[in-house]
Chain A
């Protein structure tokens, strides 16, 4: 049985619980009583227009990649800033654990990491390439690729893996992907309908998704490298 801890009742605790619960109850009542079925179907417009695009089958990609590309651009910028913050701190703080040490001392992981990583990488590429045809998208692709590199780093050590993936070059290339996405956005607004239309449009779609995927991959690996270098320090 789960042993219950003694809950001490303080006035402040009861007040906070009461206040937040009141907001919750009000929100629940607002949904149940005031839900407007017509108004909530505002996305039908995007669904209709999205399914009418010739190259794109995935309506969700139609929303975040075609009609509302600005959201994606700014989200990439926010992500870049977060990664920039981590990169700056990574050089300032001295780490206390060795960077080339094996993280996991298991024979199974060490032997199988090297040949499992390409499978993960192919899956990541597949998600990035087929963002307009099915579920996926650049973001999931980048995160999966970054976690795959963590698998490699488990057996070989993070410093060595970083050098093999040419981390220092990657940090400079990262912003090229952002500039490319910006270029596509500008092109799309100057020549409406031509950026993603037709056969060349298919190439643009794949290139944009791969650029987003590459950017998120580099950012994810930068974050993970930092956390491996400073592991156990909380």
Chain B
């Protein structure tokens, strides 16, 4: 029996060293200490058995697990945007979720998604808080020193929705697409819509406010990216929906954002997205969710 335990100990020692995830290795170390404690008891050293059990099994495992609580997780903060990433009856679903899940499995991490409002997105990344920004994020949204964008996985359109027949007046704009002002200033007023009438941009805080304003008739149209437009069109009052027209005014690229300190994560996520695009799995994924 003693020989059996000692051989088991040897196997455990080798197993601790070939683990990829640190939490697994720590638990195996706890088992290692436990078998050592059993060996001490069998050899006639009960003092040692009790002390090794109290220290090696309980205390060391506590300390490691407390210190490592964040290590194996991929912390994603996102804005809830169907059908990219949303929550239905307590369960997460979405196109981005499948991409993120595949990536997390690839790098043997646990995925944890937290939904926040758009203002908090830039303040929570970096340091120990969150690793990744998702949720229909596109290039240039939160430009700034803290975040770096990954390779894009989907190209889409910057869309404008207008109540047909009306033009001019107030046009809503979401905070995400507030850069549209500069873009319009660069390209000039898009032809074919206003017939030359000027319009005024009104900023809204959230998609719900914008859709309510559209339904109440306060604004005659709005700009959004096509992912959010499909969501917004779903919520717009049906008679209004039939009278609305959509047209694209530019291109946007959907991607993710990573804190600029985390070069490793950025590289591995870029590699993963590129390999997905090469195997054209992204297309069938998007087919399932968008069409």
Contacts and interface: CB of A to CB of B under 8 A. Distances in A.
Contacts of A134: 46
Interface stretch (A32-40, A171-179, A186-194, A224-232): A224-232
Contact of A135 (B20, B49, B63, B127): B49
A220 to B, nearest CB: 7
Interface stretch (A110-118, A144-152, A202-210): A144-152
Interface residues of B, number: 23
Given A135-B47, A136-B47, A147 B128 contact: no
Contacts of B67: 227, 230-234
Given A135-B47, A135-B49, A147 B62 contact: yes
Nearest to A145: B54
Interface stretch (B68-76, B234-242, B245-253, B265-273): B68-76
A127 B55 CA distance: 14
A147 B62 CA distance: 9
Interface in A129-183: 134-137, 139-140, 143-144, 146-147, 150
A146 B59 contact: yes
A91 interface: no
A147, A150, A232, A233 interface centre (most CB from chain B within 10 Å):
A232
Contacts of A73: none
B50 A136 contact: yes
A107 interface: no
Given A137-B47, A140-B54, A233 B59 contact: no
Given A227-B66, A232-B128, A234-B71, A220 B59 contact: yes
29 contacts: A5-B20, A58-B47, A60-B45, A96-B128, A134-B46, A135-B47, A135-B49, A135-B50, A136-B50, A137-B50, A139-B55, A140-B47, A140-B51, A143-B51, A143-B55, A143-B58, A144-B58, A146-B59, A147-B62, A220-B59, A223-B63, A227-B66, A231-B66, A231-B67, A232-B66, A232-B67, A232-B71, A234-B68, A234-B70
Interface of B: 18, 20, 45-47, 49-51, 53-55, 58-59, 62-63, 66-71, 127-128
